[in-house]
Amino acid sequence: MYRNSPAKIQRVAILLRAPGGSYWLSGLTGFLTYITYALLNDAWGNYALAAIAVYLYLSIPAYSRLSNRLESRTGDLTGLTTVGRAARYALQFAVNCALLYVFVAGGILDPAGLGRIGGFFGAAAWVTAVSQGGQYAANWLAAIGVGSSDRNVVVSISVSVVVNALAVSGVAWVQSIYVGASLFFAGVILFSGVLYDIKALRMPIRRRSSRSVSTL
């Protein structure tokens, strides 16, 4: 599968498919979460932050699989890519709201820092949009033979953790860029899904038209 790929891409692909690779990557996510938020918010001794880091380590591989399966099966049941993507977004938005609540209630984040990005629910929406953009890039890489979908999503979540931390921790210059990036990702995901659905819905009409012409 990787014979025609550059050597570096081959090595990354092998790592992402290695046994236990997902938990190695989720451990990295938990570590990055703790280090980043502790640095930005002086929360080194915060038990809530330590608990979140451990939770991410244990749950992200299953969370990644659940997100992929939910989108796939919802899309299959409805025949609409956009509905599948909306289901994935709704799941991850709910999870991000719960995590953000722990961040605020646990004294890790100052709620005032969320004001520039829409407050509590606005921040959760932007975090979810940025994360979704990374995850779709991860699935695209899997589609061209680099890694697997589930493990690539874990990598994308690990990267987005650092960016999200900068935004929700009140770093002003990051927040201004962050909102624009969130809107961009949300627009691309929605627009591409709608285009795909329109194309899929028109195909049966074209087939019926060609059959009616052939019987004349």
Q: How many CB atoms lie within 10 A of CB 178?
A: 23
DSSP for residue 79: T
Q: How many CB atoms lie within 10 A of CB 54?
A: 14
**Predicted pLDDT at 150:** 75
Q: How far is CA 192 from CA 82, 184, 188, in A?
A: 9, 12, 6
pLDDT at 202 over 80: no
Q: Which tens digits make up the pLDDT trace of 44-95?
A: 999 999 999 999 999 888 888 898 899 999 999 998 989 999 999 999 999 9
For the chain, what is the mean pLDDT? 81
What is the average per-residue pLDDT within 200-206?
65
Distance CA 57, CA 199 (A): 39
**Predicted pLDDT at 200:** 81
| Nearest C-alpha neighbor of 88 from the set 193, 198, 204, 18 | 193
Domain ranges in the chain are 19-201
Share above pLDDT 90 across residues of the chain, in percent, rounded to a whole number: 32
**Predicted pLDDT at 106:** 96
Q: Which tens digits make up the pLDDT trace of 6-26?
A: 555 455 444 444 445 567 878
Share above pLDDT 70 across residues of the chain, in percent, rounded to a whole number: 83
Q: Which tens digits make up the pLDDT trace of 135-156?
A: 888 888 888 888 777 778 878 8
**Predicted pLDDT at 211:** 38
Q: Which of 27-36, 58-67, 170-179 has the lowest mean pLDDT?
A: 170-179
Q: Which of 210 and 29 is assigned the larger pLDDT? A: 29
